[in-house]
Structure 1
Amino acid sequence: MEVKRICQWCGKPFIAQKTTTCYCSPQCSKRGYKHRIKERKMELRHIQEMQELRSSLEKQEYFTFSQAARLMGVSRQYIYKLVKEDKLRASRLSGRMALVRRVDIELMLKSKPYERLVAKSDFDITEYYTAEEIA
């Protein structure tokens, strides 16, 4: 029985020896493996950086818009939008400098939990759709 596959690394069609074969050659297999390991290391490094950043920001009482965005996991422009729509309070110190208090961020998240942003890892599609709708 011939199983026709397309190599996941180079994209060339090949005839697989087993049904679980994903790569056309040992070279493509090694390259795919190295790429997966590299991606995992980068993801782990990114997670560690975010945890370090959040732990350093946990001690602060006032944040710039950039720091508030990193703490909340949103973009800086979204913080500007929240301030403009009066959903988040900010104190202007000068023409160019504004700060957001931690208390105001927590108050915004507590008062409007339905507007709280969900991180990708915390997102569960079953909360919004039934199994029949997903399939």
Structure 2
Amino acid sequence: MYELKTKETDASVIEFIESVDHPKKREDAFRLLDIFTEVTGYDAKMWGPSIIGFGHYHYKYQTGHEGDAPLVGYSPRKAKISLYFAPGDFEREQLLQQFGKHTTGKACVYINKLADVDEAILKALIQQSIAFFRKTYPEA
């Protein structure tokens, strides 16, 4: 049976952020911690070794695959900061057009530094993602 690699852990979020090598990326990671905590109302939790997640939801696909994941989160990775939001929908795409300098993956949005993006739009993306997951997975 498939075992999820990214699970909520008891590791310290603060210790993880303090271990980020690059000083500016570490500073951005602490600012993101404040923003995500303020907007979500959830305490930050480590998911796997490097994702800082907020809240959680349980998903189950038609294939039978199921698991738990954070509603939103981020990771201050070496190359870029990864922001984890709900997969693209029209509202997300509209917000991303106003977000600032970024690239996207299926569910991730990548930024070089927080100064490259609009914090108000970041907050709206967090709210949009939580609303999407709560609608899609009502027990979230």
Fold conserved (TM > 0.5)? Answer: no
Work out which structure has the larger RCO, using CA pairs closer than 8 Å and 6 or more positions apart in sequence.
Answer: 2
Q: Return the structure number with greater helix share.
A: 1
Rg larger in structure: 1
Q: Return the structure number with greater strand share.
A: 2
Interval of TM-score (by shorter of Structure 1 and Structure 2): under 0.3
